[in-house]
Amino acid sequence: MGNLLLFVVLHTPGVVFRQIAEGNTRIIGSVQKLTFLLILLPPVFSFIGSTLFGWRLGAADPLYFDSTARVIISFFYADALILGYISTALIARWMSKTYGGGKVPTASLFAFFTVVLAPICIASAAHIFPHIFFNVLVLIPTIIWSMTLLYRGLPVVMNIPPERGMLMSSSLVGWLLVAFVSLLGLSAALWTYGIGPSIGV
Amino acid sequence: MISDGREIYHDGVVKRLIQFSIIWAVVGMVVGVWLAAQLIWPGLDFGQFWLTFGRIRPLHTNGIIFGFGVSALMATAFYSVQRTSNVPLFMPRLAWICCYGWQVLVLLGGISLLAGWTSTKEYAELEWPFDIVITILWVCFAVVFFGTIATRRIRSIYVSNWFYGALIIVIAMLHIVNNLALPVSINKSYSLFPGAQDAIVQWWYGHNAVGFLLTGGFLGMLYYFLPKQSGQPIWSYRLSVISFWAFTYTYIWAGPHHLHYNSIPEWVQSLAMVMSLILLAPSWATMINGIMTVSKAWRKLSVDPALKFIVLALAFYGLATFEGPMMAIRSVNIVSHFTDWTIGHVHSGALGWNAMITYGTFYYMVPHMMGRELYSVRLANIHFWLALAGTMLYILAMWGAGVSQGLLWLSIDDIGELSYSFNDVMAAMVPYYALRLVAGLIFLAGTVLMAYNLFRTMYGRHTVAVSPPLIIDELQGTVYKEEPREPSSGNAQEVPA
């Protein structure tokens, strides 16, 4: 059932958006169950990749970490994803009044963002070979796919005109960009304090 | 100008400045793309000293900042100050001198950079003869702008003029102080400040040039053209004024964050870091003000490319003004400094904020001034998606490159030696630089489309003569409809500011 639903989410997201908008509790519940699986994929793939191949930043020798560092990095990665997922759904709920959205149940918003997140989580399989440029190449089209889902689906789920949906989606993209940059900055700060790769500071 | 007993706004000089700005945008971006290609294929200098990276890089930055950026700022300042003051430009001939003088300066300055004349100060590379000319032309700009405000018929000074005014005053101060130098020949001078003090003065200039020219000046553009284009008043005028003063007070302290872990006192670095973090508040106040203003004009989004550019510019403004303070944190900066992360950050501002807000503004101004519809809305929409794709690809490529560089440069082996040489690291960057080249080409293609679209819109037409409208309620500072002096096919009427 879960695999089939995942296929439906990726293949015909429009159908899922309409079901969510109509408050179909069965679909919403099923999509929510997928969330846990999907959100764990990137840190798990990252852990496997850094164990098997090390981080490949382009230079000759890959960077290998001990098992404790790998666990800590994956743990922080999972935390960041969960925090990003929850905060994005809550921010969307907070923004909905500004953009004329009705009172959409929080469960529906969580289900919607699971659909949006799905392509990125699946494509995170690229982390198994953690060459940064390879990952950039794989994730750029996937991010575009997820953004398309966001722009298409948000007006449907929020029941607002497409133009307002575009504005609200752009605001959420702004938030996600800021969140991503924060993640980069936080990572750099953690490396400086000795968590993660060993750097000479 | 007074014709037939009626005053008319001086929009001819505005039109000419827009044309120059577009030309410099294309030239500056072509040079930028060439630079991106040189980082992959260094042989693209063809063995010519004047085509080496070190000479054409300042040509790119000066062409974009002073050619494209300042021309656009002069154009929009002259356009908006007349309408918000309800009078034609003060000393319009001086405005024309300003317009042509500035273009000659950028052209000759660019040639001097190719010839190897340089003060070596970033964004202030032009040598002392040019610095003197800049000062004179800037004073002309100030006379026209403040003269118009001084002769205004509306008592209150609209917030966009506060930002343009700050741009003129602060840039004058920064330019003069940073370029204090002892000339030893026509093409060489030496700074009056020694060593680390020179570095602090330079980055006081450099950061505040970013602050008051690339941020403050363009915020002036935003505060005038966003309400015009959206047909909505600013969401909170009070917030705009508060954020102006907070912005002005805070920005000026933040420069030394460019010198983290350098030979300047640590407390100076810490102060800059703290002020950089505080700067987030006024920056985001402006962003929220803009987003809330445009959120009421959502119906126009599907048909109005100019508004799309302005919305996108706001999103990238939010990103860049968040990323900047974050990168000013010392523990983040130790990884990000001297890497392409910084280049990505600069371009999220330059492409995403400065270029987009200017494009949106030009798409608004040109049809209004020419009194005709935009030549092709479809081309403008294609331009929008090219600009978005180019900017995103550029930023992502530079994030990838920057984080890799930060980690590789700081990696040490078991005996504490650096794991990778500079050459190793740079050789590993080629794929990212190729992505950046593609991104630059996409963005440039969009800009060329805009140039074609706007020049076709302007082709064979003079600006529509517009008279200052009748002020009905001067005490409230309300501006009513501008009446086109002669009938035209286009829409020269404007919504209340």
Higher pLDDT, B470 or B376: B376
Cβ-contact B357, B222 below 8 angstroms: yes
In this prediction, residues B347-363 reach a mean pLDDT of 97
In this prediction, residues B156-179 reach a mean pLDDT of 97
Of all residues in chain A, the percent with pLDDT exceeding 90 is 30
Please name the residue of chain A whose CA is at the shortest distance from the CA of residue B288: A171
pLDDT in tens, A76-118: 889 989 999 999 999 999 888 888 877 888 899 999 999 999 9
pTM to 2 decimals? 0.89
Q: According to the 3-state scheme, what is the secondary structure of chain B?
A: CEECCEECCCCHHHHHHHHHHHHHHHHHHHHHHHHHHHCCCHHHHCCCHHHCHHHHHHHHHHHHHHHHHHHHHHHHHHHHHHHHHCCCCCCHHHHHHHHHHHHHHHHHHHHHHHCCCCCCCCCCCCCHHHHHHHHHHHHHHHHHHHHHHHCCCCCCCCHHHHHHHHHHHHHHHHHHHHCCEEEEECCEEEECCCHHHHHHHHHHHHHHHHHHHHHHHHHHHHHHHHHHHHCCCCCCHHHHHHHHHHHHHHHCCCHHHHHCCCCCCHHHHHHHHHHHHHCHHHHHHHHHHHHHHHHCCHHHCCCCHHHHHHHHHHHHHHHHHHHHHHHCCHHHHHHHCCCHHHHHHHHHHHHHHHHHHHHHHHHHHHHHHHCCCCCCHHHHHHHHHHHHHHHHHHHHHHHHHHHHHHHHHHEECCCCCECCCHHHHHHCCHHHHHHHHHHHHHHHHHHHHHHHHHHHHHCCCCCCCEECCCCCCCCCCCCCCCEECCCCCCCCCCCCC
Highest averaged pLDDT of the listed ranges A19-33, B307-321, B433-447:
B433-447
Q: What is the SS3 assignment for A169? A: helix
Q: Which residue in the set B299, B326, B412 is minimally distant from A163, CB to CB?
A: B299
pLDDT score recorded for residue B494? 38
In the predicted structure, residue B476 carries a pLDDT above the cut 80: no
Cβ-contact B207, B200 below 8 angstroms: no
Cβ–Cβ below 8 Å for B335 and A188:
yes
In this complex, is the C-beta atom of B303 within 8 Å of any C-beta atom belonging to chain A? Answer: no
Q: Label residue B493 by pLDDT band (50, 70, 90).
A: very low
In this complex, is the C-beta atom of B44 within 8 Å of any C-beta atom belonging to chain A? Answer: no
Q: Label residue B472 by pLDDT band (50, 70, 90).
A: low
Determine the longest span between alpha carbons in chain A, in angstroms. Answer: 55
In the predicted structure, residue B354 carries a pLDDT above the cut 80: yes
Cβ–Cβ below 8 Å for A201 and B410:
yes
The enclosing H or E element of A193 equals none
Cα–Cα distance, B124 to B179 (Å, whole number): 8
Closest CA to A143 of A113, A116, A167, A104: A116
pLDDT score recorded for residue B208? 94
Residue B444 token pair: 């440039």
Q: Label residue A3 by pLDDT band (50, 70, 90).
A: low
pLDDT score recorded for residue B334? 92
Residue A140 token pair: 């750029």
In the predicted structure, residue B302 carries a pLDDT above the cut 80: no
Q: Label residue A2 by pLDDT band (50, 70, 90).
A: low
- Name which of A50, A57, A131, A135 to mutate to probe chain B: the one with the most chain B Cβ atoms within 10 A of its Cβ: A57
Tokens 């969307």 correspond to what residue? A92
pLDDT score recorded for residue B59? 97
* Beta-carbon pairs below 8 A across chains A and B: 122
Higher pLDDT, B496 or A93: A93
Q: Which residue in the set B292, B315, B335 is minimally distant from A170, CB to CB?
A: B315
Q: Residue A63 pairs with which residues in a beta bridge? A: A55
- Helix axis angle, B218-230 relative to B356-370, nearest 10°? 50
In the predicted structure, residue B105 carries a pLDDT above the cut 60: yes
CA distance B243 to chain A (A): 20
Q: Label residue A153 by pLDDT band (50, 70, 90).
A: very high
pLDDT in tens, B1-59: 555 667 899 999 999 999 999 999 999 999 999 999 999 999 999 999 999 999 999 99
Domains of chain B by start residue, with CATH: 2-484 (1.20.210.10)
In the predicted structure, residue B344 carries a pLDDT above the cut 80: yes
Q: Which residue in the set A61, A167, A185 is minimally distant from B294, CB to CB?
A: A167
Cα–Cα distance, A184 to B428 (Å, whole number): 20
CA distance A181 to chain B (A): 7
Residue A31 token pair: 């999509």
Cα-Cα-Cα-Cα torsion A191, A194, A197, A201, nearest 10 degrees, comes to 80
Q: Residue B484 pairs with which residues in a beta bridge? A: B466
Cα–Cα distance, B248 to B166 (Å, whole number): 8
- Name which of A192, A193, A195 to mutate to probe chain B: the one with the most chain B Cβ atoms within 10 A of its Cβ: A192
Cβ–Cβ below 8 Å for A163 and B397:
no
Least confident of B277-281, B314-318, B467-471: B467-471
What's the CA angle centered on B307, arms B301 and B311, to 5 degrees? 95
Cβ-contact B307, B271 below 8 angstroms: no
In the predicted structure, residue B220 carries a pLDDT above the cut 50: yes
pLDDT score recorded for residue B473? 54
In this complex, is the C-beta atom of B322 within 8 Å of any C-beta atom belonging to chain A? Answer: yes
Compute and round to an integer the Cα radius of gyration of chain B.
23
In this prediction, residues B74-82 reach a mean pLDDT of 98
CA distance B419 to chain A (A): 9
Cβ–Cβ below 8 Å for B319 and A181:
yes
CA distance B458 to chain A (A): 30
In the predicted structure, residue B292 carries a pLDDT above the cut 70: yes
**For chain B, what is the mean pLDDT?**
91
Residues of A in contact with B334 (CB under 8 A): 188, 192, 201
Cα–Cα distance, A113 to A89 (Å, whole number): 7
pLDDT score recorded for residue B497? 37
